[in-house]
Structure formats: C-alpha cells, structure tokens
Structure 1
Amino acid sequence: MTDVSAPDITPVVRPEEDKVLPAVVYGLYLLGFASCAATTVVGLLVAYANRGTAGPINQSHYTFAIRSFWLSIGWFLIGLTMFILGLPLSLLLVGIPVVAAGVFIMGAVGVWFAVRCAVGIYYLARGEAYPRPRTWLI
C-alpha cells in the first residue's frame, strides 16, 4: 500500500513589519489637533527619520503621512491668506465671501487631515501598505 498524504502545502509567510512607529506618527498627527500642531511636527520628523530604512509597507505609510502634512500646510496657508486678505476688505463688505471661503478652506483641511490619518490607521491595522501614498485625495 502506498501512503497517500496531503500535498506538502507551505503557507505563504509575509515578513511582518513593525507597526508601532507608523502608528505613532498617525497618533502624533491626531494629537496635533489638541496641542496646536506641536506634536504634528514631531510626527513629521519621525516619519522622515524612518522612511529610508522602512520596509515597503511602512514606507508607503511614511510617504503618505509626509505628504499629508505638507499638503495640509499648503492648503491651510491658502485659506489663511484668503482670511487675512479678506479681513480689511470685509469693512467694505466686499471681503466677507473671501473671509468665509478662507475659514471654510481651513476647516475643510482639518477634516481632510483627520480623515487621511484615520484611513492610514485603517490600512496599517490590516497590515497593508497604503495603496496610493502619493495621492492628494484620500
């Protein structure tokens, strides 16, 4: 009799990357809402310091976090500029829509930044690389 055994199936083992530092970056980013963005800069520095030595999964999260920071700064400065330029013009009632647009942009940037962090945490918790780390949308 021949011994019929199950085929030798070896599971595919993905090398696990440490999720702690990308989670710290996202946590520092979200903590920045309470600390007037001071911890956000620390999170940016952690992301820059670890991006070069990270594996492919973590590198996508670091790239995503770095781009999230710089895109939010850019859009926030656009909204702040509109707000500041619209203030003197609002005395003539012409600048009120410009002030309102500036406030809206600054608020929308805050929501956009928080959603990007939440989506990044979602993919990190699943152990997946961020699918499109260089996009400016979510």
Structure 2
Amino acid sequence: MIGNIIGITSILAVIIAYARRERAPHWLQSHYTFQIKSFWAALIGILVCTFMIMTIILSPFGAMGLGLIWLWMLVRSVVGLIRLLDGRGHPDADAMWV
C-alpha cells in the first residue's frame, strides 16, 4: 500500500516477488503473482495516462485515469493484504480486478 505513495517501494516489491515466487508455498505464490500483475498493469496505465496528460485535449482524462489507477491499486492492495493476513491464497491471481 505504501507503493501507492512512494514509487520506489513498488519497484522493490516486484523485485522481491519475482525472486521469492518460485520457492514460496502455493498459497503465497498466488500473492506474488497478484503483486507482479498489479505492478505491470499499473505501470502501463500510468505511462498511458502520462502520455494523455501531455496532450492538451486528453489531459483531463489522463488526470482522471491516474486517480482511478491509484484507487484500483489501493483496493487491490487492501484485498491482497486481508487475504494474506488470513493465510489464504488469492483465488484468481491472474484476474485484473480483485
């Protein structure tokens, strides 16, 4: 969740997820996959929204998109953390919603 505020923590988290995913128990592997998918989807979304902001006509949509990406990441982070604290794996780690 801190990665929503400080981008470097997101980069560190995805590096750790890649490094530990193969050796982790199955239920924890789903969390690492969930983190990795979240990171790459958010990064692509941020790049697209940044490009939209650079254009005058699409800039309101880009700004709104950045806010929606932030909210999406916050929801995914909270749901993932709740499942992790309960000791449950993610039921569909490849899904893009929750």
TM-score range, shorter chain: over 0.9
Provide the aligned length of Structure 1 versus Structure 2.
98
The 1-side partners of 2:3 and 2:79 are apart by 17
What TM-score do the two structures reach when normalised by structure 2? Answer: 0.94
Distance 1:102 1:34 in 2: 18
Larger radius of gyration: 1
For 1:100, the aligned partner's letter is P
Once the two structures are superposed, the pairs formed by residues 72-87 of structure 1 within 5 Å of their partners are 72-86=42-56
TM-score with structure 1 length normalisation? 0.68
Quote the residue 2:12 is aligned against.
42
- Give 1:77 deviation, angstroms: 1.1
Q: 1:41 is aligned with what amino acid?
A: I
RMSD value, Cα: 1.0
| Structure 2 gap segments, 5+ residues each | none
Q: Displacement of 1:33 after TM fit?
A: 3.2
Structure in which a larger fraction of residues adopt helix? 2
2:21 alignment counterpart:
51
Which residue pairs with 1:126 in the alignment? Answer: 86
List structure 1 runs of 4+ shifted beyond 6 angstroms: none
Whether 2:3 is the aligned partner of 1:32: answer yes
Gaps of 5+ in 1: 1-29, 87-94
- Residue of structure 2 in register with 1:62 after alignment: 32
Q: Give the aligned partner of residue 104 of structure 1.
A: 64
Counterpart code for 2:52: M
- Identity within the alignment, %: 30
Deviation, structure 1 residue 64: 0.2
Distance (Å, rounded) in 1 between the aligned partners of 2:4 and 2:41:
16
